[in-house]
Amino acid sequence: MRFPVTAALACALALTACTTTTYRPFVTSGDAIFEGKGGIAYAQDGMEIWDFGDPPRRYKVLGIVDDERPGGVGPMNRLFGDVVSKAREVGGQALIQVRNQSQIVGYQRSDSAYAVPSANPASAAGTATSIPVRKNKAQFLVIQYVQ
């Protein structure tokens, strides 16, 4: 049985729609100011993302961004851009990555076969491929720098 290309495209678009990027505010009784020690950062769309350690300066935590998406190339290429956009919406100046993990949640099977009935004797051949389907979960602290 052949899997139509349009059905595969529809499945891929449906998986892309399963992306969620949400913000939850950090609630404290006062101004919780943290003093960072340093680490490793890079810039995404002009915003620092600290993926090991934290900034070597004072900052306060505004909240947490949780992101969940399929682990395919397309959705993962948009991960950091989506998280930066969400952080900017709430006044964030930088992000500290807390978690970023991927797991296999199943397999997508694709197979095809063909037969040549006019040959004597008739012959047939086919191929099958299983591709892992991944789900990625990431979490970031949204921060503002303090003087």
Question: Are the C-beta atoms of residues 47 and 83 closer than 8 Å to each other?
Answer: no
Question: According to the model, what pLDDT value does residue 1 have?
Answer: 46
List the one residue out of 7, 138, 140 whose CA is nearest residue 71: 138
Q: Which amino acid appears at position 58 of this protein?
A: R
The architecture in CATH of the region 20-108+129-145 reads: 2-Layer Sandwich (3.30)
Domain ranges of the chain: 20-108+129-145
Q: Which residues contact 120 (CB under 8 A, 6 or more apart)?
A: none
Please state, in angstroms and rounded to a whole number, the distance separating the CA atoms of residues 119 and 11: 37
For the full predicted model, state whether its pTM sits above 0.85: no
**pLDDT tens readout for residues 46-92:** 999 999 999 999 999 999 999 999 988 889 999 999 999 999 999 99
Using the Cα atoms of residue 85, residue 91, residue 95 and residue 101 in order, give the sign of their dihedral: negative
Write the pLDDT tens digit of every residue in 6-18: 555 455 545 445 8
